[in-house]
């Protein structure tokens, strides 16, 4: 008695579209988390260099807290103040002055003049229509602005506050823990490559008939 024989072949199982999408999403999320962690570490070292190392070179840092110097120095900018040159401030310089009240103001010099033999400057914010009401003795000039970085002042102000430091450290530790325990929390990304399975191709047109006992 004879019976048809069939060959056993390999056929690729069709990849499940939901599995492939899950693999892509998990992979992208993991890489984004890596980028965020690297950015936080680099940013932290940069802030330390600015707030600790730079002042030791004779420079000072100030945060712009109003829009009077917009657009050159918008609110939240971090301004680097260097020492005045030997000739003192000149018209057009952006200087930081300390008023008698202790308030620190960063404005542009519009005029330099003497009053009873004492050098004074008149200042004005770029966004203001008129000069500042009071002129300032050159002796009260802290220094001249040599650079400014928009929005970086917000970050420095946050790090300088106790609540900001605690919040930053907790956020950083949470992200590090999430990255370390990623596979345990979310599972490994499924293999996007389809697996090979062996199936009996009985009754299919591509079956190779044969003879057997």
**20 has pLDDT over 70:** no
Average pLDDT over residues 23-35: 77
CA 106 to chain centre: 26
What are 137-158's pLDDT values in tens digits? 999 999 999 999 999 888 888 8
Q: Distance between CA 126 and CA 124 in Å, rounded?
A: 6
Give bridge partners of residue 199 from the DSSP assignment. Answer: 9
Q: How confident is the model at residue 10 (pLDDT cuts 50, 70, 90)?
A: very low
Q: Distance between CA 160 and CA 154 in Å, rounded?
A: 10
Predicted pLDDT of residue 68: 95
Q: Phi-psi bin for 17: left (phi > 0), alpha (psi -120 to 50), beta?
A: alpha
User: Are β-strands 104-115 and 94-98 bridged in parallel, bridged antiparallel, or unpaired?
Assistant: antiparallel
Single pTM value for the model:
0.61
Predicted pLDDT of residue 124: 96
Q: Distance between CA 171 and CA 179 in Å, rounded?
A: 12
**112 has pLDDT over 80:** yes
**103 has pLDDT over 70:** yes
**194 has pLDDT over 60:** no
């Amino acid at each position: 008695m004879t019976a048809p024989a069939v060959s056993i072949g390999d056929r690729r199982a069709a990849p499940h579209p939901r599995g492939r999408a899950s693999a892509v999403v998990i992979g992208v999320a993991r890489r984004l988390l890596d980028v965020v962690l690297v950015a936080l570490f680099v940013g932290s070292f940069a802030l330390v260099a600015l707030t600790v190392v730079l002042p030791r070179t004779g420079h000072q840092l100030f945060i712009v807290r109003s829009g009077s110097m917009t657009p050159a120095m918008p609110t939240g900018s971090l301004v680097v103040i260097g020492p005045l040159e030997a000739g003192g401030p000149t018209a057009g310089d952006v200087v930081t002055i300390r008023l008698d009240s202790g308030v620190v103001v960063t404005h542009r010099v519009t005029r330099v003049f003497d009053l009873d033999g004492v050098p004074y400057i008149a200042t004005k914010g770029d966004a203001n229509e008129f000069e500042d009401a009071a002129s300032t003795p050159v002796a009260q000039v802290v220094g001249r602005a040599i650079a400014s970085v928009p929005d970086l002042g917000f970050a420095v102000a946050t790090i300088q506050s106790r609540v900001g430091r605690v919040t930053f450290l907790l956020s950083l530790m949470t992200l590090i823990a999430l990255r370390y325990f990623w596979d345990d929390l979310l599972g490994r990304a499924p293999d996007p490559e389809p697996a090979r399975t062996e199936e009996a191709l009985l009754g299919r047109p591509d079956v190779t008939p044969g003879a057997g006992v």
